[in-house]
């Protein structure tokens, strides 16, 4: 039988098979090299392969697992192994390509030699083999296999030819990187951010800034390698020039100098010129300068990405010259630098320690690579924490441990060396304010926000912002969000450095003293501070501690018990605090109260308005605003504020004291009253008798409403009669139920004065006069005795009684009784008849209210008086309010008690 001719598709099958085999083999090798033990492979993936192939109960070795996988599974294993590594993204891209190009179908086609093999399958494999992801992952076998297959050579190519790599963008990057042994771990986000910034035209000067050992060089080289392999780079760069200015390196033996370092600006120019021109830049400085100038001018139209690693070695002594050199580069060039110290004029990306999870992975992987004894989880956590998640520190500690050192000794030695290597130069180049902030954070046990820092250091917001930004650019401080507020803290390594070498001892001592004082004030606030949310001096627990301490310290000034100079000083402090915390309502309230004490009511209203617009409600500020607006006759605005408080149910809240509930009640209903909405007020006060501890406030409000109704000159006679009758009934009931409370007495006098005006104008009917005269007869003496501004001896009270005594009265006028003649005569101090009335002044010495009597002593001390409540016009409640020292006018009884050794009985007693 004649031999069959192989199908025309056979060469494509062989070429595809060669590339596909190389791909699976390279990925398998990648997994074996990077999965340090079966535990590195997810349990679900591992068990699936083991169940399919193995019978043993023990976990299978990684090499054996890889041997039993195909293209899809081996890619998934590689992805799982590359978690937190820089290889993860290109592996994801490769997986998408494998799926999109249907490589699984190609593999099946390769395995069936008697079926036709479509030509486009080979082109798909060629596309996959030449994708930048292959070179990024260093899967050189795949590239080599593709080249051999495309040239029809199915044997391995010469070794020298294998070393040729097809870079897309020309560069002078080193062929190997220090971090390749573990890969770049836990820098995915930073790499993406840096790549995005690098591609933007405006960012022609970028700086990667952070402490030594955080992986700036590793991140930079990994990114540049990826950029050099990415076809998209050709849109913005033609060439990459890399210069390292590193002068020292940290090893397990300590800090060691680098031989022949690039340690001057001239050396940098020499390397750049040599890289661009491809020739020696010369030996002398003049020759090097001319070569650099020739390169920059001759290649001005070429888009060069210049990377200078470890720029701090030049910035220490030549900061101005470095900035000048960058400014003089062609506009089409871009500069990327890494530095431990801040770089002026650059778009800065700060690089701090890696995340804890990534640091743990780095420690595990490097321990496995170094062949060191395995550490338990607690030991790994301790290693990572002591090294402060610094990649270089982790590697050095593992190196020392692998070399035979005890773990504790390795960590102690590494800690000391990494502090010196990473942070000393950074701290030495800080501004004065930045150094103060470091000391402030060192002296604080907790993270501090900008406002707290400004308060502790007496710095303005601008100075704090500038210093904080400079520290963030160097990663000396760590930023975190606490309750939505950005706060800062020191890394443990920086804290160790400041522990050994303080930057400003006086600042540290001052900060700690202020913090102690703050704690004392907060303790005082907890013990004696008001818990009533409507109180003027209420300090909410949600406010920052330094704000609470500040307001507590100036409590006396806010309450008006300090001098003007102290109030002005406190106002300055509050305004400084507001500049940091403009959304802290308690500060605006404190400012308003101080302004009120300084008689600037309109500025106080403005401050309270700001407090009411803050995100967090300040009920006390809103009540004050309602009161201030009411007093300034801005009634609709005042009503809006009080309605918000009532809607929030503060009028019935157990947290609010009686005094402040009364304030809120009056803030709202007095405003409604002044807007002449009388029916609403009367309806709201109709059940005043059942109002409990708010009854007196409602009594006064109701009385005030009736008196305002009586002010209406257009009021019809029947309506006026109803108003007078309701007013008298309200006062009668109020005095009967609660005694002569000051606020009710005050409103009662105002009401009586309005009735007097109507009487003098002859607008009261005899029936209304009878009602008023009866009210005065029943209550006027006691009302005068309970009000500091009124007395029966006052000319106004005498005129009041005289007015209603002389008006036509429907019934017998009680004011014409002889008692009133005696009372009014007593009030006229210049009338000699008063002395003849027999009253003399005495002082209460003892009160037994439960028994209904008291004792008083004559002013001249000549005798004591026995006073029974029946001898007074006081109610039981008013009598109970008598206190030793109260002045009274006593009319002595006819029968003396001195002869029998007892006090003289009083016939009639009045409050003076």
pLDDT at residue 665, as a whole number:
93
Q: Where are the beta strands (DSSP E) in 176-293?
A: 205-209, 239-244, 248-251, 254-257
Distances (CA, A) of 315 to 249, 250, 325, 337, 480: 18, 20, 12, 11, 29
- 753-801 residue pLDDT tens: 889 888 888 888 999 999 999 999 888 888 887 777 777 777 788 888 8
Distance CA 886, CA 639 (A): 41
Pick from 129-143, 344-358, 671-685 the range whose average pLDDT is largest: 671-685
- 601-610 residue pLDDT tens: 999 999 999 9
The answer, yes or no, to whether residue 165 has pLDDT greater than 50, is no
Q: How confident is the model at residue 28 (pLDDT cuts 50, 70, 90)?
A: confident
Cα first-last separation, the chain: 146
648's enclosing H/E stretch is none
* % of the chain with per-residue pLDDT over 90: 13
Q: Find the angle CA(236)-CA(242)-CA(244) to the nearest 5 degrees.
A: 150
Question: What average pLDDT does the segment 857-876 reach?
Answer: 81
Provide the β-strand partners of residue 338.
208
Q: How confident is the model at residue 415 (pLDDT cuts 50, 70, 90)?
A: low
Distance CA 127, CA 147 (A): 12
Higher pLDDT, residue 82 or 664: 664
pLDDT at residue 56, as a whole number:
47
The answer, yes or no, to whether residue 828 has pLDDT greater than 50, is no
Q: How confident is the model at residue 837 (pLDDT cuts 50, 70, 90)?
A: low
- 510-523 residue pLDDT tens: 888 888 888 898 88
What is the average pLDDT value for the chain, to the nearest integer? 80
The answer, yes or no, to whether residue 586 has pLDDT greater than 90, is yes
Please check whether residue 265 is in contact with residue 318, taking contact to mean a CB–CB distance below 8 angstroms: yes
Distance CA 852, CA 868 (A): 6
Q: Where are the beta strands (DSSP E) in 323-377?
A: 334-339, 347-350
Q: Find the angle CA(312)-CA(318)-CA(319) to the nearest 5 degrees.
A: 70
Q: How confident is the model at residue 830 (pLDDT cuts 50, 70, 90)?
A: very low
pLDDT at residue 822, as a whole number:
65
The answer, yes or no, to whether residue 59 has pLDDT greater than 80, is no
The answer, yes or no, to whether residue 652 has pLDDT greater than 80, is yes
pLDDT at residue 279, as a whole number:
59
* % of the chain with per-residue pLDDT over 70: 84
Q: How confident is the model at residue 429 (pLDDT cuts 50, 70, 90)?
A: low
- 705-738 residue pLDDT tens: 998 998 887 888 888 899 999 999 999 998 888 8
- 264-286 residue pLDDT tens: 677 777 777 777 776 555 555 56
- 770-781 residue pLDDT tens: 999 999 988 888
Question: What average pLDDT does the segment 313-331 reach?
Answer: 74
Q: Where are the beta strands (DSSP E) in 253-400?
A: 254-257, 304-309, 334-339, 347-350
The answer, yes or no, to whether residue 835 has pLDDT greater than 50, is no
Q: What is the pTM of this model?
A: 0.58
Q: Look at residues 794, 788, 877, 870 and name the one whose alpha carbon lies nearest to residue 828.
A: 794
Q: Look at residues 825, 770, 819 and name the one whose alpha carbon lies nearest to residue 797.
A: 825
The answer, yes or no, to whether residue 576 has pLDDT greater than 50, is yes
- 371-390 residue pLDDT tens: 777 788 888 888 888 777 87
Give residues with Cβ within 8 angstroms of 634, minimum separation 6.
Answer: none
The answer, yes or no, to whether residue 87 has pLDDT greater than 60, is yes
- 207-252 residue pLDDT tens: 888 777 778 888 888 888 888 877 778 778 888 888 887 655 545 5
pLDDT at residue 2, as a whole number:
43
pLDDT at residue 533, as a whole number:
92
Asked which of 67-71, 124-128, 282-286, 645-649 is least confident by mean pLDDT, the reply is: 282-286
Asked which of 48-52, 340-344, 720-724 is least confident by mean pLDDT, the reply is: 48-52
Distance CA 387, CA 421 (A): 13
Could you identify the residue written with the tokens 């081996």?
74
Q: How confident is the model at residue 190 (pLDDT cuts 50, 70, 90)?
A: confident
Higher pLDDT, residue 860 or 898: 860
Could you identify the residue written with the tokens 């400012």?
591
> Percent helix, strand and coil across the chain, each rounded to 5?
60, 10, 30
């Amino acid at each position: 039988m004649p031999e069959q001719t192989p199908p025309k598709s056979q060469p494509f099958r062989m070429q595809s098979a060669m590339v596909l085999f190389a791909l699976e083999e390279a990925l398998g090798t990648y997994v074996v090299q990077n999965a340090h033990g079966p535990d590195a492979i997810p349990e679900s993936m591992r068990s699936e392969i083991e169940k399919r192939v193995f019978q043993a109960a023990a976990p299978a070795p990684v090499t054996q697992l890889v041997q039993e996988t195909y293209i899809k599974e081996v890619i998934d294993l590689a992805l799982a192994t590359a978690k937190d590594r820089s290889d993860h993204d290109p592996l994801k891209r490769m997986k998408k390509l494998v799926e999109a190009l249907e490589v699984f179908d190609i593999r099946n086609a390769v395995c069936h030699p008697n079926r036709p093999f479509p030509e486009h399958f080979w082109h798909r494999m060629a596309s996959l083999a030449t994708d930048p992801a292959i070179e990024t992952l260093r899967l050189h076998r795949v590239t080599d296999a593709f080249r051999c297959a495309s040239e029809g050579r199915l044997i391995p190519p010469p070794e020298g030819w294998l070393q040729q790599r097809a870079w897309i963008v020309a560069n002078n990057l080193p062929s190997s990187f220090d971090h390749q042994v573990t890969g770049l771990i836990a820098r995915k986000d930073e790499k993406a951010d840096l790549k995005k910034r690098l591609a933007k035209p405006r960012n022609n000067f970028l700086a990667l800034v952070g402490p030594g050992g955080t992986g700036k060089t590793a991140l930079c080289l990994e990114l540049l390698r990826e950029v050099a392999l990415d076809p998209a780079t050709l849109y913005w760069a033609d060439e990459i020039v890399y210069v390292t200015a590193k002068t020292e390196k940290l090893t397990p033996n300590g800090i060691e100098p680098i031989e022949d370092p690039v340690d001057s600006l001239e050396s940098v120019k020499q390397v750049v010129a040599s890289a661009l021109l491809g020739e020696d830049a010369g030996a002398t400085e003049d020759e090097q300068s001319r070569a650099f100038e020739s390169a920059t001018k001759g290649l001005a139209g070429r888009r060069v990405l210049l990377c200078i690693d470890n720029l701090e070695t030049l910035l220490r002594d030549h900061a101005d010259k470095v900035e000048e050199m960058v400014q003089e580069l062609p506009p089409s060039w871009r500069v990327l630098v890494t530095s431990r110290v801040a770089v002026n004029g650059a778009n800065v990306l700060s690089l701090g320690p890696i995340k804890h999870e990534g640091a743990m992975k780095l420690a595990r992987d490097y321990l496995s690579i170094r062949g060191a004894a395995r550490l338990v989880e607690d030991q790994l956590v301790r290693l990572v924490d002591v090294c402060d998640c610094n990649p270089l520190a982790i590697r050095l500690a593992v190196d020392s441990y692998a070399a035979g050192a005890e773990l504790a000794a390795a960590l102690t030695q590494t800690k000391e060396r990494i502090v010196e290597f990473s942070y000393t130069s950074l701290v030495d180049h800080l501004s004065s304010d930045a150094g103060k902030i470091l000391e402030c954070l060192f002296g604080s046990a907790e993270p501090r926000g900008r406002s707290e820092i400004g308060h502790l250091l007496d710095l303005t917001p601008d100075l704090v912002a500038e210093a904080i930004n400079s520290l963030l650019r160097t990663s000396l401080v760590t930023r975190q969000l606490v309750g939505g507020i950005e706060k800062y803290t020191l890394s443990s390594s920086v804290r160790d450095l400041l522990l050994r070498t303080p930057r400003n001892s006086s600042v540290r001592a001052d900060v700690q003293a202020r913090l102690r004082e703050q704690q004392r004030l907060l303790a005082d606030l907890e013990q004696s501070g008001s818990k009533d949310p409507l109180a003027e001096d209420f300090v909410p627990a949600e406010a920052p501690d330094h704000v609470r301490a500040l307001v507590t310290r100036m409590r006396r000034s806010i309450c008006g018990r300090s001098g003007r100079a102290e109030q002005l000083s406190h106002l300055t402090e509050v305004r400084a605090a507001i500049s940091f915390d403009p959304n802290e309502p308690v500060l605006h309230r404190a400012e308003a109260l101080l302004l009120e004490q300084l008689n600037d009511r309109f500025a106080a209203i403005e401050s309270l308005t700001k407090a009411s617009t803050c995100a967090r409600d300040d009920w006390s500020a809103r009540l004050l605003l309602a009161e201030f607006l009411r007093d300034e006759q801005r009634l609709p605005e005042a009503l809006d504020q009080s309605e918000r408080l009532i809607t929030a149910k503060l009028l019935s809240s157990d947290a609010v004291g009686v005094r402040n509930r009364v304030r809120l009640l009056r803030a709202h209903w007095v405003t409604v009253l002044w807007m002449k909405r009388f029916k609403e007020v009367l309806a709201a006060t109709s059940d005043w008798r059942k109002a409990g501890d708010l009854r007196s406030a409602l009594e006064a409000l109701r009385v005030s409403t009736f008196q305002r109704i009586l002010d209406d000159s257009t009021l019809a006679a029947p309506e006026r009669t109803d108003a007078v009758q309701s007013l008298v009934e309200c006062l009668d009931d109020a005095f009967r139920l609660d005694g002569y409370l000051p606020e009710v007495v005050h409103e009662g006098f105002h009401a009586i004065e309005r009735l007097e005006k109507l009487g003098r104008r002859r607008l009261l009917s005899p029936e209304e006069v009878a009602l008023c005269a009866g009210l005065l007869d029943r209550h006027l003496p006691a009302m005068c005795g309970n009000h500091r501004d009124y007395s029966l001896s006052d000319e106004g009270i005498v005129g009041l009684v005289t007015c209603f005594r002389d008006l036509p009265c429907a019934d017998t006028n009680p004011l014409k009784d002889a008692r009133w003649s005696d009372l009014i005569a007593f009030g006229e101090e210049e009338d000699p008849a008063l002395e003849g009335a027999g009253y003399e002044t005495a002082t209460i010495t003892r009160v037994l209210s439960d028994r209904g009597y008291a004792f008083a002593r004559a002013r001249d001390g000549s005798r004591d008086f026995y006073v029974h409540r029946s001898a007074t016009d006081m109610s039981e409640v008013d009598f109970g309010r008598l206190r030793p020292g109260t002045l009274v006018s006593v009319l002595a009884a006819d029968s003396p008690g001195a002869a029998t050794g007892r006090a003289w009985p009083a016939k009639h007693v009045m409050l003076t």
